[in-house]
Amino acid sequence: MERTIFTDEHTMFRAAVRKFVEKEVAPYHKQWEQAGIVPRELWLKAGEQGFLCMDIPEMYGGGGVPDFRYCVIMTEEFTQANCTGPGFGLHNDVAAPYILKYGTDEQKKRWFPALAKGEKILAIAMTEPSGGSDLANMRTRAVRDGDHYILNGSKTFITNGINADMVIVACKTDTTKTHTGVSLIVVERGMPGFTRGRNLEKIGWHAQDTAELFFEDVHVPVDNRLGEEGHGFFYLMQQLPQERLVIAVGAIAAAQAALDWTIAYCKDREAFGRPIGTFQNSRFKLAEMKTQITIGQVFIDCCITEHNAGNLTATQAAMAKWWATELQQRVVNQCLQLHGGYGCMLEYPIAQAWLDMRWGTIGGGTNEIMKELIGKDMGF
């Protein structure tokens, strides 16, 4: 089924991104997987190509293209190439929007030019060792002291955590309150007391640096606070739907890539004197997956269109994230099964995709939380 949400300009952009991935990313991704991190030089190259902060106004050094479909193309092309290392999506689509929407003009002028060029890398820190989805009860504290906050606490599972030059930290500025006690402050590389723990070893996404962050009496200027004090939780709730849609976009793209690899494999691999794709069980499995992915893609494209128009609801985003990541796991698991023993070999892309898929139902809010959100919207 032809996708109709993209224009000729999007098609040209997709070709440019694909060329970038083929030249600058794919040939080196395996060694980045082994190193556990992507070199900062790649960010500079991406900045030169205009692939960072595309929706940021030109007056702040960005691309000046407020069209989420360009972000979709970036996610799809990197995912379909099985290149999960570069944390551009977190930088562009998850963290930067907080500065764009809640930052002051001075903050935007101070931070965006370097972020758009890839000279500085951005992360956002919500999750803590003591709790995942329970953001209202986080323990990281920031106490006001004149024109500074004194920040203490820790965060974990932070994407871009090792490479990041700037981290948007969700913290408690009023411990007597829950939702209205949370604020967002930007901690910058080199601030005394800000340290990074280990680059966490994961079951997938090995090339993407994921770190523990520690804050011990870090003096952060009040000028680094995003938006109003005590409004941080509500800012998070307003921005999380886009993060969840990004995850859904990647999940559908990963499922499609897995199916494409498997179709090719089933045509080439023979058993009992004929291609394994000609056996009824294989044909039926492939047909089921093709149908499910097509249906899922239509829904995700509908969500993309709604989001571009500013109409995507938190419930729709939760549905997209839940459905797409569950579908991804079913498809990739079945595709690995059709590969037989070779599916367990990391030289085959399906094996790496199987490792990478597992975080999808957990990241961005677990799928159990997604169902809670959907259920509450239904009045339960």
- If residue 361 lies in a helix (H) or strand (E), which one and from where to where? none
22-31 burial code (b ≥16 CB/10 A, e <16): eebbeebbee
Cβ atoms of residues 84 and 207 within 8 Å:
yes
Structure tokens at 360: 């999808």
Residue 49 half-sphere exposure toward CB, CA atoms < 13 A: 20
Structure tokens at 253: 């793209």
The crossing angle, in degrees rounded to 10, of helices 314-339 and 349-357 is: 140
Is 288 annotated as catalytic?
no
Q: Which amino acid is at 152?
A: N
> Which sign does the torsion angle of CA 304, 310, 315, 318 carry?
positive
Distance separating alpha carbons of residues 246 and 90, to the nearest angstrom: 9
**Nearest Cα to Cα of residue 207 among 374, 18, 26:** 26
Structure tokens at 188: 């910058």
Instruction: Find the angle CA(341)-CA(345)-CA(348) to the nearest 5 degrees.
Output: 105
Given the residues 243, 270, 306, 347, select the one marked as catalytic: 243
Q: Give catalytic residues, as residue numbers.
A: 243
